[in-house]
Chains A and B, each alone.
Chain A
Amino acid sequence: SSPAALAPCRIMPVRWSRYNPSYLEPEVRKESYQKPLEELTEEEREQAELKAVRPIKAAPPTLSSSVFSDPMISKFTNMMMKSGNKVLARSLMSQTLEAIKRKQLEKYHKAPENEKETIECNPYVIFHQALKNCQPIIGLSNITKGGKTYQVPVPLTDNRKRFLAMKWLITECRENKHRRTMMPEKLSQELLLAFNNEGPVIKKKHVLHKMAEANRAYAHFRWW
């Protein structure tokens, strides 16, 4: 839980770790270690000297120096994970990406020449585009005024939009499928539908937008 060299404090940190301010962040990018000394600017030289002396914080498990790592994919994998089984979640994610790639490649090879450029085969591009299509623009929040709770339309932050999109996708895949279909198969189907702006998740987003539009009158209840 909490590492050595804490700043003197009476409260023990429980959830987020508290480091002494002298600890530096770990540097993962390979390029920064390959520059020779002459190319560094003044600040970078100071940084390098500090690194030789100060202690460094422990690297979190999501930080990776691989060229193939993607923050959105790792966030999605963490959300799919159940009871800390990251191995299973990661294997499901890679099977999903492979299933998307296979389906798109089969379509690509069967399509006539002029349509071949329109078919997108990169599973990462499809994943990002599908998530973007699923993100709602406006959300609803419960505000209590005069004893009654109203659903008030409210703007959402980027983080909240991404979270909602991923959450809807995962709950949809977990609940609305046949008992025998595997998660990668169902997820790949949903992602391809969302990429084309079809499917139950997009429908849910439209329903939310319609509710927000219907409750426009209460918009002035918001005070932030």
Chain B
Amino acid sequence: AKHTEQHEGRLYNIPLEEVKAVFPHGLPHRFQQQIQTFNEARVMVRKPALELLAYLKGSNFAHPAVRYVIYGERGTGKTMTLCHVVHYCSRQGWLVVHVPDAHLWVKNCKELFQSSYNRDRLDQPLQASVWLKNFKTSNERFLQEIKTQKKYMWGKRESTEEGRPLREVVEQGLARVRSASDAVGVVLRELKQQSHRGSFRLLVAVDGVNALWGQTTLRKEDKSPVSPEELTLVHNLRKMVMNDWNGGAIVTTLSQTGSLFKPSSAYTPQELLGKEGFDTLDPFVPIPVPNYSPREFESCYGYYLERKWLQHEKAHTEDGKAELQFLSGSNPRQLERLAGPL
């Protein structure tokens, strides 16, 4: 649907083909289940998203990229706001670099190799190859147009010449899994250097950005802990998030649910990013995401009734609605969990 604003509280429909093309990775798991059950993807238009879209529309692309940090308590819809913005930008024709959850890169990694490019750093071939595959599906046409500006050597024999389309770098990363993290680094560097020319707009969307500056649960072979700088993927992503390039925007989300070694009541940027992260991200625009307002709650409740998701007889009554509102505290995640068995 054409993105018309001033429609706060309403739900808009995304056609299923677009969902597969724009979001190969990035939608929350429960939302994907909901898409499958209802056969359609409906996202609610809320104030924080409208604010962000207004800023993006009015932003001047000659200036350095502005950083937006979406924060809020658990389950208030930060990831969904990010997905809304990503969909809008891909509709407008921007190139989207979408990292679904940076926490996946700093924990539960089965294979860590020493990077060939730089002795100190560690590679993560699995996560890098998964990300490259999803990046390819979401940004097909840009990969043909953008050309590399430098010659890159992958090991002793393979190399990518200057002026070849970026698609070849991505294919190289997918084919040679060992050098996948370096391929990711190359892609990000090329995009950053070429974005100021103005042929395309670049949106960097990172979910769970507090993973880049926290601690990791990974260990090296001699059981010493790994700090995030030593991972190639994290290092390259940090360079993207710095605002020394222009021609686009950076939208990030804080997330407590995947974060490591942080208390569950922490939700402000100061607590979750830590001192280092906060200083690096320093001039940013904070966007708080609150719980549902009464109007949004009514709209969500009406949607569930219409799609026959609330099947219990008492759920259709006023008492049932009041009880749902009280039990969930207008929190979107709690409402969804409560409405499941009902």
Contacts and interface: CB of A to CB of B under 8 A. Distances in A.
A102 to B, nearest CB: 5
A130 to B, nearest CB: 15
Nearest to B342: A68
Interface string B301-322: 0000000110111110101100
Interface in A15-65: 30
B37 to A, nearest CB: 5
Contact of B308 (A30, A67, A68, A105): A105
Contacts of A122: 311-313
A66 B319 CA distance: 9
Contact of B314 (A67, A94, A106): A67
A221 interface: no
B155 interface: no
A120 to B, nearest CB: 9
A109 B312 contact: no
A101 interface: yes
Given A67-B317, A67-B320, A94 B340 contact: yes
A95 B341 CA distance: 7
Contacts of A30: 319
B33 A124 contact: no
Contacts of A121: 308, 311
Nearest to A69: B314
Interface in B246-268: none
A97 B38 CA distance: 17
Contact of A67 (B37, B38, B319): B319
A98 interface: yes
Contacts, number: 47
Contact of A101 (B39, B311, B319): B311
B340 A98 contact: yes
A123 B323 contact: no
Interface residues of B, number: 19
Contact of B323 (A68, A108, A109): A68
Interface of B: 33, 36-39, 308-309, 311-315, 317, 319-320, 323, 340-342
A50 B308 CA distance: 45
B209 to A, nearest CB: 31
Contact of A109 (B33, B39, B311, B313): B39
A93 B341 contact: yes
A102 B311 contact: no
Select the residue from B311, B315, B317 with max chain A CB neighbours within 10 A: B311
Given A68-B320, A95-B340, A106-B36, 4 more contacts: A68-B312, A93-B341, A94-B341, A124-B312
A10 to B, nearest CB: 47
Nearest to B308: A121
Nearest to B36: A106
A60 B39 CA distance: 43
30 contacts: A30-B319, A66-B323, A67-B314, A67-B317, A67-B319, A67-B320, A67-B323, A68-B312, A68-B320, A68-B323, A93-B341, A94-B340, A94-B341, A95-B341, A97-B342, A98-B341, A101-B311, A101-B340, A102-B37, A105-B37, A105-B38, A105-B308, A105-B309, A106-B36, A106-B37, A109-B39, A122-B311, A123-B311, A123-B341, A124-B311
A122 B341 CA distance: 10
Contacts of A68: 312, 314-315, 320, 323, 342
B337 to A, nearest CB: 8
Contacts of B39: 109
A35 B149 CA distance: 80
Interface string A126-156: 0000000000000000000000000000000
B139 to A, nearest CB: 32
B335 to A, nearest CB: 14
A90 to B, nearest CB: 10
B63 to A, nearest CB: 48
A98 to B, nearest CB: 4
Contacts of A98: 340-341
